[in-house]
Amino acid sequence: MPTSLQLAEGDADLLEAVRRCRKLLNRRALMAAAASTVPLPGLDWVMDAALMSRLIPAINQEFGLTPGQIDKLPQAKREQVQKALAVVGSVVVGQLVTRDLVITMAKSVGKRLTVQQAAKYLPLAGQAVSAVLGYSAVRYLGEEHIKDCVRVARQAQLTLPSPSLRVRSLRGRTSARRQT
């Protein structure tokens, strides 16, 4: 199975978008691993869901695939994106991330999450296993989402948003949160 970098090969913009998304994904997966070490049942699932509900829209934005970005496309390009979404079969690309979508994603790594909960009750070694499983679950889901975004962007022949515009919009949201 090819990685997201392999899928993006030959397109410099896609490669850069994948690298930025993977950097973000690694940070979020490390946060999931840290939350998994806390021996409170269910805390890691809540944390994973919260991380994924922020990670998925950030990845979508990087590829120009948020619902708002898709709505701003010309009609013909929007139709191309919709066809590409149907071909790829992703349930989260171009969608608003809801609790139901996060639950659907969690079901794909359900066994890992169940083992992770059970492992928490073993002192030290169990917390280490739980952290590894938490990291790998978020990492797996994020990587699969990046692959889907690359496939949709290629299939629809999308021009990715400029990184400078993306950074400005993210900074604007951060400063707006600080003011409230």
4/170: higher pLDDT: 4
pLDDT score of 45: 72
Q: Where are the domains of the chain?
A: 4-170
Residue 58's SS3 state is helix
10 Å CB burial of residue 100 (0-12, 13-18, 19+) is exposed
Average pLDDT over residues 89-96: 70
For the chain, percent of residues with pLDDT exceeding 90? 39
Contact 61, 161 (CB under 8 A): yes
Alpha carbon distance 135, 25 (integer Å)? 10
Tens of pLDDT along 151-161? 999 999 988 88
Would you say residue 57 has pLDDT above 80? yes
Alpha-carbon distances, residue 76 vs 48, 55, 82, 93, 166 (angstroms): 37, 28, 10, 18, 24
pLDDT tens sequence across 106-135 = 665 555 555 555 555 556 666 777 778 888
Tally of helices (H runs) and strands (E runs) in the chain: 9, 0
pLDDT score for 147: 94
Band of residue 170 on the pLDDT scale cut at 50, 70, 90: very low
What's the pLDDT at 38? 77
Predicted local distance difference test score (pLDDT) of residue 61 = 94
Q: Can you tell me the distance from the alpha carbon of 94 to that of 92, in angstroms, rounded to the nearest whole number?
A: 6
